Amino acid sequence: MKRSGGLHEDDDVARALEWLYETCGDRSQDVKTRVQKAQDTYIRHVGNPNERGGDITLDTLGADLVASYLAQADALINNAAAYDLGLGTHVVPFIKQLGENLDKVKSIAGASDRAARMLLSNGSDPSGGFFELVTALRYVQDGYQVEFVPERRGISKTADFQITRAGATQHVECKRLRSGPYEAKEKSEQRRIFDRLAEFVERDRLSLHIDVTYTKELHEIPDGYLASWAEKAITSRLALTGGYPWKDEIGFGTVKPANIRAVQKDIRDFYHLLFGSKLARLLIGHEVQEPYSMAGVFIPSHHDPRYISEAHAGTVVTWRCVAETSMTNKSRHIKSHLSEIEKQLLEVGEGVGHIGMDADGDIDISDLRRAKNYQAVAEFQSRVKINALYLHYFVCRITETKSWMIDETVDYFSVTGHLPLTGSGRIFTGGEELLGELPAWHQKPPPLPGPRKR
């Protein structure tokens, strides 16, 4: 694999990776080999013209989720060609948090064993394991003695770790909520709908911004839905300053011209442009949040196919679905995770729970999820005493000023008044506090960078 140098010399990430490899002992080289293989897989994937503009997840890159996860942290400091802005923002914050506080991590009894078991299990999703490690670290930072509870296979369920301070011990169970199959299926359906539009865009070299709200589930939307409205808009004789609007039984939206000249100017000034959020911003004239789809007539850079060296047309579709079934499925609440926490704490009879989840880029979806989470917690009748429950919402941002960024909002629940963590209860420490009381998904994105010189 060609090593191209990293984006940043991040000592915290480097220290964390070194420790993680060390926990694997004489099998550390096997893990490093898997990581390099995962980076090779990523480079081949993004180099495939048929994958341009597609959604990349850890699952996209193969069954070795652990290697794909670590590969992003390694790529940040060693191999820029294999670093993905979207994936990295879900990975790097957790690994960097460990590296920033590595002495405290090493003080946690059982942390090395827990890390090694996670890394050597190449078929499992590591996001839950890293959530456990960073949460355990947070308690150490708050003055607790922390010890991971060894798993007892086939005997009984146990909590992840126990915390002790002033002679009092609590057991803590962590759960990480991942996106469900409905979200993945919906993105696949949007890709199907968008592919027909992309053919039209490439054939006629169209530069458009289409903003659509689907009122039906996406599997009910015909392939040519967006292409049809785009064609009607560009052939219309109406000159509308706000764009060409439409509304029907399937959805509603607007079609506007996109600013391909802004893209061309940026390429002239800076030689090449990443196929990503900045390209979308230049086309539509303002910051773009997930989800969106993008296509056009672009010439990829011969140095790195993720970048474009020429742009002749570009179209962005910002989209959302407000069909009731879609909203309900995407705002999955945490009832099943509450039941799992209860099972893990049954043997000891009480404890603390932490549930981590990514907040959706759609504000309405995230607000609905939060409301349903509140309802699930209020209605849950636990057989054990959950002294404290923390719901951690992570907003992973792709910005033009940083290679990764994560904002965290925490909801705290307790019927006993138990306060195991000071402050906001966030597991990410050292960053800036969010402004006001609004959750992270309501906060404005970071400011754009100032003008750059060649």
Round to whole Å and give the CA distance between 277 and 166: 49
Does residue 271 belong to any structural domain of this protein? yes
Last residue of a domain, one of 103, 125, 147: 125
Does residue 450 belong to any structural domain of this protein? no
Question: Is residue 317 within 8 Å of residue 230, measured between CB atoms?
Answer: no
- Check whether the bond before 451 is cis (ω within 30° of 0): no
Please report where in the chains the tokens 């719901």 appear, as a residue. 391
Round to whole Å and give the CA distance between 231 and 250: 17
Do 198 and 309 belong together in one domain? yes
Does residue 206 belong to any structural domain of this protein? yes
| Residue 165 pLDDT greater than 50, yes or no | yes
Question: Is residue 146 within 8 Å of residue 109, measured between CB atoms?
Answer: yes
Do 237 and 301 belong together in one domain? yes
User: Which structural domain, as residue segments, surrounds residue 210?
Assistant: 182-325
Look at residue 450 in the predicted model and tell me its pLDDT: 55
How many helices (H) and strands (E) are present in the chain, helices listed first?
A: 14, 12
Look at residue 2 in the predicted model and tell me its pLDDT: 46
Last residue of a domain, one of 309, 325, 341: 325
- In tens, the pLDDT along 148-159 reads 998 766 566 789
Look at residue 447 in the predicted model and tell me its pLDDT: 65
Look at residue 1 in the predicted model and tell me its pLDDT: 40
Look at residue 433 in the predicted model and tell me its pLDDT: 65
Does residue 1 belong to any structural domain of this protein? no
Do 192 and 112 belong together in one domain? no
Question: Is residue 161 within 8 Å of residue 101, measured between CB atoms?
Answer: no
Long-range contacts of 437-440, Cβ-Cβ distance < 8 Å, separation of 24 or more: 439/359, 439/366, 439/370, 439/393, 439/409, 440/359, 440/393, 440/394, 440/395, 440/407, 440/408, 440/409
Do 173 and 201 belong together in one domain? no
Token pair recorded at residue 103: 């002495």
For 273, other C-beta atoms within 10 Å of its C-beta total: 21
In the chain, the amino acid numbered 1 is M
Comparing CA positions, the residue from 196, 16, 172 lying closest to residue 106 is 16
Do 228 and 150 belong together in one domain? no
Do 102 and 149 belong together in one domain? no
CA angle 294, 296, 298 (to 5 degrees): 120
Last residue of a domain, one of 301, 325, 349: 325
Does residue 6 belong to any structural domain of this protein? no
207-211, 215-219, 410-414, 418-422: segment of lowest average pLDDT: 418-422
Comparing CA positions, the residue from 192, 189, 245, 196 lying closest to residue 217 is 189
Residue 407 three-state SS: strand
List the beta strands (DSSP E) in 250-397.
251-257, 273-274, 292-300, 307-321, 350-358, 385-397
| Residue 302 pLDDT greater than 60, yes or no | yes
CA distances from 60 to 41, 65, 120, 295, 300 (A): 10, 9, 20, 20, 22
Mean pLDDT of 162-175: 93
What pTM did the predictor assign?
Answer: 0.90
Round to whole Å and give the CA distance between 39 and 35: 6
Angle between helices 65-78 and 111-120 (to 10 degrees): 110
Does residue 452 belong to any structural domain of this protein? no
pLDDT bucket at 429, cuts 50 / 70 / 90: confident
Round to whole Å and give the CA distance between 83 and 85: 7
Do 401 and 363 belong together in one domain? yes
Look at residue 149 in the predicted model and tell me its pLDDT: 92
Average predicted confidence (pLDDT) for the chain: 89
Do 201 and 155 belong together in one domain? no
For 11, other C-beta atoms within 10 Å of its C-beta total: 12
Round to whole Å and give the CA distance between 360 and 325: 16
Q: What is the DSSP string of 120-169?
A: H-TTS-THHHHHHHHHHHHHHHTT-EEEEPPP-TTT----SEEEEETTEE
Does residue 448 belong to any structural domain of this protein? no
Round to whole Å and give the CA distance between 181 and 154: 29
Q: Is 81 or 180 the better-scoring residue by pLDDT? A: 81
Do 374 and 436 belong together in one domain? yes
Do 109 and 139 belong together in one domain? no
> How many domains, the chain?
3
Q: What Rg, from alpha-carbon coordinates, does the chain have?
A: 23
In the chain, the amino acid numbered 318 is T
* Phi, psi (rounded to 5 degrees) for 75: -65, -35
Mean pLDDT of 73-86: 91
Does residue 424 belong to any structural domain of this protein? yes
Do 54 and 162 belong together in one domain? no
Do 88 and 207 belong together in one domain? no
